[in-house]
Amino acid sequence: MLQALSNIFKIPDLRKKVLVTLGLFVVYRIGAYIPTPGIDSSALAQFFDNIAKQQGGTLFGIMNMFSGGAIQRLTVFALGIMPYISASIILQLLTTVVPYLERLSKEGEAGRKKITQYTRYGTIVLSVVQSFFISLWLENPAHFQGLQIVQFTGWAFRLLSVLTLTTGTAFIMWLGEQIQEYGIGNGISLIITVGIISRLPSALYQVSFYLKTGQMDPLKLVLMAVIMVAVIVAVILITQGQRRIPVQYARRIIGRKVYGGQSTYIPLRVNQAGVIPIIFAQSIILFPATLAGVMPNPLLQAIANSLTRGGILYLIFYTGLIIFFTYFYTAVTFNPIDIADNMRKYGGFVPGIRPGKPTAQYFDFILTRITLPGAIFLAIIAVFPELIGGALSIPYLVASFFGGTGLLIIVGVMLDTMRQVESHLLMRHYEGFMKKGRIRGRR
């Protein structure tokens, strides 16, 4: 492993990619500390100190995690990359129902560029809408326990906030594209990962504080380390797990040339949906609590109280939503009929299965069954921070590194980045990260 890391800097173009990526990370983290104009930072810090224990249980907490704490400080990068993620998911879902977008998705590189452009437009629109409502939220002292966060309210502050926050999101999107083009790894995913990892020093500080004050037993710290390693190993196994469907292509003779005749496979991942089901489930189940914090309605308050984070009803609904959205998103992103039609078009078939509709039914049969363990695993990982936090009496910021969206993103992105680095090393006759075997990609 250490030898592979040293070999990275022996290859000029790979060294340049890594340094460019690290440099853009620094730019991103600097922007996460530049305050938005018109905000009283000291009053805002005082408010968040008062509610620090509840940040993980609202939509605000999710956005704060993805932005690396920028929204908590209301910096120019406060919206983070969440508008881009939302726009990407919306475009991906619309691709299955809008014929024009479906045609674009099948046009190769040109269609992909067009969809990417639409995603950028959608990101700007969502950023404008979200930043406007954030400015309205900031102007009301009732949302901040009576503290005056904005000194000079009005349309001047609202327009300035919309311009600042939208520009910040557009700049983060540009940073991700620069990493994608000139750096190493998936730019947007790496920016999300950096934001999540940036919370690690605060979590370690809390752990050290608990140890110094005697609130945490050293044996409990050892147990936490063992549990974390076991969870990470399990996440890696499920992330890399796949069912390989063998595919045989018929031999065709065209003129004097012979085409086809080779064997390959179609990998069906156990965790086909990734972290999207958890994001969907969190957004829905925490939406009443978020609305109740903005609009004091008795019905909303009752619903929010019944779905309190860590409660039995919360865990049941959360688990059910994750399993549902896992099947839903898998069905949206993987179309067995299209796969079967493309195979038949190029002379491919699954041994023992007739081409066409029987092949599509076979894919659907296999995918339905391997998705179930993946969905159950996602549900367990999602609720594990709640369980481990309650069992070991540790703060949510520390418990969040034992599962949930953050850990799944970190492991998946790291595996993907290591695979790309390893491919560069092997291409230039260097050893990869493992002496035996290869790191399998997520896709």
- Based on the fold, state whether residues 192 and 220 are members of the same structural domain: no
pLDDT over 70 at 36, yes or no? yes
Please give the pLDDT value at position 53. 47
Q: Which of 147, 168, 198 is the last residue in one of the domains?
A: 198
- Based on the fold, state whether residues 194 and 228 are members of the same structural domain: no
Short-list 160, 143, 156, 170, CA closest to 77: 170
Which of 19-23, 107-111, 183-187, 267-271 reaches the highest mean pLDDT? Answer: 19-23
- Based on the fold, state whether residues 138 and 256 are members of the same structural domain: no
- Based on the fold, state whether residues 17 and 166 are members of the same structural domain: yes
More confident residue, 67 or 148: 148
Q: Is residue 67 part of a domain?
A: yes
- Based on the fold, state whether residues 226 and 373 are members of the same structural domain: yes
Distance, CA of 158 to CA of 137 (rounded, Å) = 10
Write out pLDDT tens, residues 88-131: 888 888 887 888 888 888 787 888 888 889 999 999 999 999 88
Average pLDDT over residues 417-421: 83
Distance, CA of 21 to CA of 176 (rounded, Å) = 9
Please give the pLDDT value at position 55. 45
Q: Is residue 289 part of a domain?
A: yes
Average pLDDT over residues 50-79: 64
Q: Is residue 149 part of a domain?
A: yes
pLDDT over 90 at 204, yes or no? no
Please give the pLDDT value at position 293. 60
Helix axes 404-427, 218-240, angle to 10 degrees: 60
Please give the pLDDT value at position 7. 74
pLDDT over 70 at 299, yes or no? yes
pLDDT over 60 at 15, yes or no? yes
Q: Which of 168, 198, 228 is the last residue in one of the domains?
A: 198
Average pLDDT over residues 199-219: 82
Q: Is residue 3 part of a domain?
A: no
- Based on the fold, state whether residues 21 and 146 are members of the same structural domain: yes
Please give the pLDDT value at position 74. 80
pLDDT over 60 at 408, yes or no? yes
Q: Is residue 208 part of a domain?
A: no
Q: Is residue 421 part of a domain?
A: no
- Based on the fold, state whether residues 46 and 180 are members of the same structural domain: yes
- Based on the fold, state whether residues 239 and 146 are members of the same structural domain: no
**pLDDT category, 436, cuts 50, 70, 90?**
low
- Based on the fold, state whether residues 85 and 171 are members of the same structural domain: yes
DSSP string, 42-85: HHHHHHHHHSGGGGGGSHHHHHHHHTTTHHHHTBTTTTTTHHHH
pLDDT over 70 at 256, yes or no? no
Average pLDDT over residues 163-188: 90
Average pLDDT over residues 192-207: 83
Average pLDDT value for the chain: 80
pLDDT over 90 at 432, yes or no? no
- Based on the fold, state whether residues 331 and 382 are members of the same structural domain: yes
- Based on the fold, state whether residues 38 and 156 are members of the same structural domain: yes
Write out pLDDT tens, residues 367-384: 989 999 989 988 888 888
Q: Which of 170, 198, 226 is the last residue in one of the domains?
A: 198
Number of domains in the chain: 2
**pLDDT category, 174, cuts 50, 70, 90?**
very high
Note whether 140 and 47 are within 8 A (CB): no
CATH of residue 84:
1.10.3370.10
Please give the pLDDT value at position 140. 77
User: What's the domain range around 317?
Assistant: 215-402
Which of 144-153, 165-174, 398-407 reaches the highest mean pLDDT? Answer: 165-174
Residues 6+ apart with CB under 8 A from 179: 20, 21, 24, 185, 186, 187, 190, 191
- Angle, alpha carbons 101-191-310 (nearest 5°): 90
Average pLDDT over residues 228-252: 85
Strand boundaries in 272-365, DSSP class E = 348-349
Distance, CA of 286 to CA of 62 (rounded, Å) = 10
Q: Is residue 270 part of a domain?
A: yes
Q: Is residue 2 part of a domain?
A: no
More confident residue, 172 or 273: 172
Query: What DSSP character marks residue 403?
Result: S
- Based on the fold, state whether residues 158 and 251 are members of the same structural domain: no
**pLDDT category, 442, cuts 50, 70, 90?**
very low
More confident residue, 312 or 128: 128
